[in-house]
Amino acid sequence: MDNQKIKILQVITLSSWGGAPQVVYELASGLPSEKYKVEIACGTGRGIEIMERLKEKGVLVHRIPWLKRNISPFDDLRALFALYLLIKKNKYDIVHCHTTKAGLLGRIAAKLAGVRRIYFTAHGWSFYNKHEYGWAQPLLIFLERLAAKCSRNVICVSKRNKEDAIQKKIAPESKLFLIRNGVAWKTNEDRVWARNKLQASPSEIVFGMTARLTYPKDPLFFLKAGRELAKKYKNIKFILIGDGPLLRECLDFVQTNKLKEHVIFFGEKSPDEARKLLFGMDIFVLISKFEGVPISIIEAMFAGLPVIATNVGGIGEAVVNNENGFLTDCDSLDKLIEKMELLIENPDLRRKMGEKGKEMAKTKFTLETMIQSYEKLYLSENATPRK
């Protein structure tokens, strides 16, 4: 009987497949259905196919057309009001928000609607993005502090994110919880199929990157390294899985630098599709400017790939330098190329690092552990359904 279940509303802005939407998807489909009734409130832009999958599983999805990533005072107020009406009408026991815009509007709406158990997961703080929002950093910090006052708890996906929240005085340490992202790895390895899909010959070394093609992920930096390596090595390939506003610039870069035979763009893929393609790669690269803990890196570890990534956010909690990969700097092209060359020329090192990464993923980043941790938080202090 639904009235005996704990009703949870997960709120997310939504843009595409990625870390935050995937966590929402896994929570909505993975929490025990006999104990919880989970619903979703989200925007209507890119990535809505994620929610269509949840609808197929019987999860009720509420679309809020004014809930958008871009700042728009008029639409933001309409989204706030729509969320308030939704929460007030359906009397949720728990409202759990994700991503900056949904996190701010969803928590305020839930507080106004009288919800006592309000949570927010910071998948990387908004104030990290100095490129787009440097001018607004003090405002973003103020708004995060304000929204945190509406929250029972704020969940951080890495120790680094938690430390930054404490340093910026986002919330008292007693309110901050660490719950790492987790992955349910059920993908069967089929390297032959994946290599065919990647159009890679048996002798080619394949570097892969799975990310939204945006400034924070810096796909052009990856391609610049590829341009230099292609001058020395003919048997290498660079794969980009993802879409985004920098796609056109990346395509132009490949065209200008005559890299067509070395670079393939696969566009946006679902997690299932992207995971299958990982088995055709030899090395995974992610050159982020700021992060939480990227699920793409965790997936690469499960696939047994060595990882080269920037030492930002919580990446160092997944990639241990010189053990399952290399940590580098987001502004040092020479250092990145040096690590890529080292793995090109040392197949045994690739294998050993890949095995170590798989081992670490199985102990630190399982979906079961993530869901159990969230459920423990939901049930703390005797969460019971509203009467």
pLDDT exceeds 70 at position 220: yes
Considering only residues 21 and 107, tell me which one the structure prediction assigns the higher pLDDT.
107
Q: What is the DSSP letter of 183?
A: B
In a domain, 297, yes or no: yes
Q: Please report, for the domain that includes residue 313, its CATH number.
A: 3.40.50.2000
Q: How many residues does the chain have?
A: 387
Round the average pLDDT of the chain to a whole number and report it.
91
Q: Is 144 left (phi over 0), alpha (psi -120 to 50) or beta?
A: alpha
Mark whether 64 and 177 lie in a shared domain.
yes
Q: Is residue 200 located within the same domain as residue 347?
A: yes
Q: How many CA atoms lie within 13 A of 113 on its CB side?
A: 26
Q: How many structural domains comprise the chain?
A: 2
Residues 177 and 219 reside in one and the same domain: no
The pLDDT-based confidence of 103 (bands split at 50, 70, 90) is very high
pLDDT bucket at 186, cuts 50 / 70 / 90: confident
The token duo for 318 is: 């997944």
pLDDT (mean) for 349-356:
98
Return d(Cα 323, Cα 317) in angstroms, integer. Answer: 12
Tokens representing residue 75 in the block: 């639409």
Judge whether 94 and 126 are in contact, CB under 8 Å: no
Q: Is residue 384 part of a domain?
A: no
CA 183 to chain centre: 11
387/300: higher pLDDT? 300
- In the chain, DSSP finds a helix count (H) and a strand count (E) of 15, 13
Q: Identify the residue whose tokens are 């080619």.
A: 204
Cα separation, 14 vs 161, whole angstroms: 21
3-class SS of residue 242: coil
pLDDT at 131: 62
- CA-to-CA distance for 21 and 50, rounded, in angstroms? 7
Are residues 57 and 196 located together in one domain of the fold?
no
pLDDT single digits (tens) 284-315: 999 998 888 899 999 999 999 999 999 998 89
Residues 297 and 173 in one domain: no
C-alpha distances in Å from residue 86, one per residue of 79, 105, 323: 10, 13, 48
Do 59 and 109 have their domain in common? Answer: yes
Nearest in space to 183 (alpha carbons), one of 377, 386, 371:
371
Q: Are residues 29 and 135 in the same domain?
A: yes
Residue 387 lies in a domain: no
193 and 273 in contact (C-beta within 8 Å)? no
What share of the chain in percent tops pLDDT 90? 74
151 occurs within a structural domain: yes
Whether 174 and 265 share a structural domain? no
Q: How confident is the model at residue 45 (pLDDT cuts 50, 70, 90)?
A: low
**What pLDDT was estimated at residue 104?**
95
- What range does the domain containing 285 cover? 191-364
Instruction: Please tell me whether the overall predicted TM-score, pTM, comes out greater than 0.85 for this model.
Output: yes
| Structure confidence at residue 383 (pLDDT) | 52
Q: Is residue 16 part of a domain?
A: yes
